[in-house]
Amino acid sequence: MIRTIALTALTAVAALAVTAPAQAAGVRVALAGKSPAQVEAEVAQAARTVCFRATRNETLIVDAYARCVKATTKASMDNFAVAQAGTNATMAAR
């Protein structure tokens, strides 16, 4: 069962969402016992943290930050959905 999902994708997506290379570190979000809405809220908060670090030296910081948060949250939630689908398939096979 997946207890946590590493959001190292946050760093990669943050780097792609802005024009300059990101210097942000990855963030881990605990998922055990949380609803999908709670997971999304925590992922969005983690994305805001990582993207703030990644875009603080950008010329158009507001636009870069917004793009980064949107792209990072989407990529992380997509990864979570794939992980959940794999977990559900494994449990159904038992």
In contact, 15 and 21? CB cutoff 8 Å: yes
Per-position b or e across 37-47, b if 16+ CB within 10 A of its CB: eebeebbbebb
User: Could you tell me which of 94, 92, 93, 88 has the C-alpha nearest to residue 1?
Assistant: 88
| pLDDT tens digits for range 36-50 | 899 999 999 999 999
DSSP letter at 25? P
Checking if the pLDDT of 10 tops 80, the result is: no
Confidence class for position 83, pLDDT limits 50, 70, 90: confident
DSSP SS3 for 4: strand
Residue 90 placed within a domain: no
In the block, residue with structure tokens 């990644």: 54
Checking if the pLDDT of 3 tops 90, the result is: no
Residue 46 placed within a domain: yes
Residue 66 placed within a domain: yes
Question: What is the C-alpha to C-alpha distance for residues 64 and 15, in angstroms, rounded to an integer?
Answer: 10
Look up residue 86 and give its amino acid.
G
Q: What is the pLDDT of residue 21?
A: 39
Q: Structure tokens of 32? A: 């055990």
Residue 28 placed within a domain: yes
DSSP SS3 for 21: coil
The number of distinct structural domains making up the chain is 1
Domain span at 65:
4-72
